């Protein structure tokens, strides 16, 4: 099946339910990367298998590691000072480096990557714990992590030279370090955030956090502090609901929340709802046509998120529900649990 092309030399991947989009409900276990490799006829080649397994873990299971390409990609997405063009250029260069690393069977050079990291950290007053751990791991010449910083710099060195690789690597490390600084700021903001104490049968005494925050690391900090649910709103009114997925996976609780959000949104917007549209319809993953505001995601490992807009979908219409109304819906869903 040929790709859908709109305009000259444009192929849509993982967007808009086109040929290479993996979000259709009947293909939830297929990644866009897998679809592209199938179309190119390389899905059976040995060199591409580690990449396919890596993408599957990240995309469908929500599992990534520090200093892998997903970690860098998220850091680029969180940097509002970068243009879309700059993100695409940096992301494409990382992807090309990883492809050449695997396609040509290059050897990992952990010491080279460690040298670059130490050079970058010379000007920093604080070394984040996860950076310290990665530096320690790189001391072991046998340490491996698929699609990580080592593969990026080794592939980039093959494509260019050591000097240009150093410049490129220091650039992407800058964006990753900014993520650490966002995390530090989120820890400060969490101290004054609204914490709603609740008592539940299943989870005992716990709390919900509801806060306006533009910081993409805020929910991470809140969950680390023990929040069962984090409701984060931006100035635009876009809202994300995160769960401590060690305690709450996709369940009656999260289904009840997304169903109530969708119904409440329709009421606010005076959107008619047909009688045959039952709870099963309201709780399906992805979006439903009547309520494009709320996207429901559940990974293979149980990680569940309810999104009204995100870093990768900023164009989604913002909800009309207030922070207080969303808190009330979450509390009600938890009441009998």
Report, in this order, helix, strand and coil percent for the chain, each rounded to 5: 50, 15, 35
Q: Which residues contact 69 (CB under 8 A, 6 or more apart)?
A: 94, 95, 98, 147, 148, 152
Within its chain, how far is the Cα of 142 from the centroid?
29
pLDDT tens digit at each of 337 positions of the chain: 344 445 566 777 765 555 565 554 444 567 888 888 888 899 999 999 999 999 988 877 767 899 999 999 999 988 989 998 999 999 999 999 999 999 999 999 999 999 999 999 999 989 999 999 999 999 999 999 999 999 999 999 999 999 999 999 999 999 999 999 999 999 999 999 999 999 988 888 999 999 999 999 999 999 999 999 999 999 999 999 999 988 988 888 999 999 999 999 999 999 887 766 688 899 999 999 999 999 998 876 668 999 998 877 788 899 999 999 999 999 999 987 7
Judged by DSSP in three states, 137 sits in: helix
Establish how many alpha carbons lie within 13 A of residue 143's alpha carbon, considering only the half-sphere containing its beta carbon: 18
Residues across the chain: 337
pLDDT at 195: 96
Q: Which of 165, 183, 185 lies closest to 173, judged by CA?
A: 165
User: pLDDT value at position 280?
Assistant: 87
Q: How far apart are CA 43 and CA 247, in angstroms?
A: 36
Question: What pLDDT is stored for residue 209 in this prediction?
Answer: 97
Q: Within 13 Å of residue 90, how many CA atoms lie on the same side as its CB?
A: 25
Q: What is the layout of strands, in order, in the sheet containing 229-233?
A: 194-200, 204-212, 229-233, 239-243, 304-308, 291-298, 286-288
Question: What pTM did the predictor assign?
Answer: 0.78
Q: What is the pLDDT of residue 314?
A: 80
> Based on the number of CB atoms within 10 Å of its own CB, is 168 exposed (0-12), middle (13-18) or buried (19 or more)?
buried
């Amino acid at each position: 099946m040929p790709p859908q092309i709109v305009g000259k030399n444009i192929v849509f991947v993982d967007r808009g339910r086109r040929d290479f989009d993996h979000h259709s409900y009947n293909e939830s276990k297929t990644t866009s990367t897998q679809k592209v490799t199938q179309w190119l006829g390389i899905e059976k080649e040995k060199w591409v298998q580690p990449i396919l397994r890596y993408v599957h873990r990240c995309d469908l299971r929500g599992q990534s590691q520090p200093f892998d390409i997903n970690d860098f990609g998220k850091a680029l997405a969180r940097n509002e000072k970068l243009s879309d063009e700059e993100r695409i250029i940096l992301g494409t260069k990382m992807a090309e480096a990883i492809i050449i690393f695997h396609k040509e069977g290059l050897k990992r050079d952990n010491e080279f990557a460690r040298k670059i990291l130490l050079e970058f950290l010379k000007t920093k007053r604080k070394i984040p714990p996860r950076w310290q751990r990665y530096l320690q791991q790189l001391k072991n010449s046998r340490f491996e992590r698929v699609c990580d910083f080592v593969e990026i710099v080794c592939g980039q060195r093959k494509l260019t030279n050591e000097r240009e690789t150093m410049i490129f690597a220091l650039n992407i490390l800058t964006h990753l370090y900014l993520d650490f600084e966002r995390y530090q700021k989120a820890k400060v903001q969490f101290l004054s955030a609204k914490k709603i104490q609740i008592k539940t049968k299943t989870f005992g005494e716990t709390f919900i956090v509801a806060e306006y925050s533009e910081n993409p690391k805020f929910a991470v900090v809140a969950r680390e502090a023990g929040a069962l649910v984090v409701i984060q709103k931006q100035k635009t009114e876009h809202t994300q609901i995160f769960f401590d997925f060690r305690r709450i996976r996709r369940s009656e609780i999260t289904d009840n929340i997304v169903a109530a959000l969708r119904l409440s949104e329709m009421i606010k917007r005076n959107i008619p709802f047909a009688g045959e549209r039952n709870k099963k319809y309201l709780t399906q993953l992805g979006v439903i046509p009547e309520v494009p505001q709320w996207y429901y995601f559940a990974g293979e490992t149980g990680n569940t998120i309810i999104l009204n807009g995100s870093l990768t979908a900023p164009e989604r219409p913002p909800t009309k529900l207030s922070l207080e109304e969303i808190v009330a819906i979450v509390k009600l869903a938890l009441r009998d649990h």
